[in-house]
Structure 1
Amino acid sequence: MKPIISHQDYKTIYSLIQDMPSSQRTKEMGQLQQELDSAARVEESEIAESIIRLNSYFEVKDQASGKTLQLRLVLPKQANLAEQKLSILSPLGVALIGFGEGMVVDWVLPGGPKKLEIIKVVNTPLEAKV
């Protein structure tokens, strides 16, 4: 299963990683770089509305626990879990970018290996995002 990333998101995330001082680079950044490298890169207009990308709202379910999370995937400076805004550099953000509704993603998170089912994805037009 290969993630799908828009050229615009690829450039934004790649620049974020490259601009990060090496002293601040994390394991997740390396994993994100691998995801970017393996991703199918397409034009924004070619990505289905059901694919998680930057600024997507999504609902994901841990298949083992049944716990459901509703979050928005954002750049690190916008991240705020109290507002349900998840950084692209977080383990969960790295795991889910580029995947879509109905998919089950296997990923090792800090709490251990997880099977995460993407229940719903909502992408709003850029001008509607605050």
Structure 2
Amino acid sequence: MKPIISNTDYRAIYSLIQDLPASQRTKEMGQMQNEIESATKVPDGGLEAGIIRINSYFEVMDLDSGKTFQLRLVMPKMANLAEQKISILSPLGVALIGFGEGMLVDWVLPGGPKRLKILKVDNSPQVSKF
């Protein structure tokens, strides 16, 4: 299963990774680069409503623990866990970008392998009402 991303998100993420000095590149950046290179790219406005992209609000469930998380996927400078904003370059951000509501995603996070289910995705411009 390949992620689906917009051309704008592809360019933003690609530029972000390329602009960082090699000393600041993490394993997750390499994974993100692989994800976006293998992703299906679509014209802006061509993504289905329920696909996670930059600035998406989403709810995801860890199927092993049953815990759910409501988060927003943002550029690294806007990330703030206290505000439930995670970076697109975080392990969870890399795992979920380009996938949509109802999908199951298997990914190795810092806490070990996880099986995640995307419950909801909100891409409306106003504040999410989850």
Instruction: Flag whether TM exceeds 0.5 (same fold).
Output: yes
Which of the two has greater helix per residue? 1
Please give the residue correspondences for 1:1-130 in structure 2 after superposition, counting only pairs within 5 Å: 1-125=1-125, 128=126
In structure 1, distance between residues paired with 2:8 and 2:71: 21
Q: How much has 1:45 moved relative to structure 2?
A: 1.4
Give the alignment's Cα RMSD to 1 decimal: 0.9
Q: Deviations over 1:49-105 (max 9, x none)?
A: 100000000000000000100000000000000000000010000000000000000
Any runs of at least 4 consecutive aligned residues in structure 1 with deviations exceeding 4 A, and if so which?
none
Instruction: Report percent identity of matched pairs.
Output: 72
For 2:11, give the aligned amino acid: K
Q: What amino acid maps onto 2:58 in structure 1?
A: F
Gaps of 5+ in 2: none
What TM-score, normalized to structure 2? 0.96
Question: Structure 1 stretches of 5 or more lacking a match?
Answer: none
Output one character per residue of 1:15-39: Cα deviation in whole Å (capped at 9) or x when no partner: 0000011000000000000000100
Task: Give TM-score scaled by structure 1 length.
Answer: 0.96
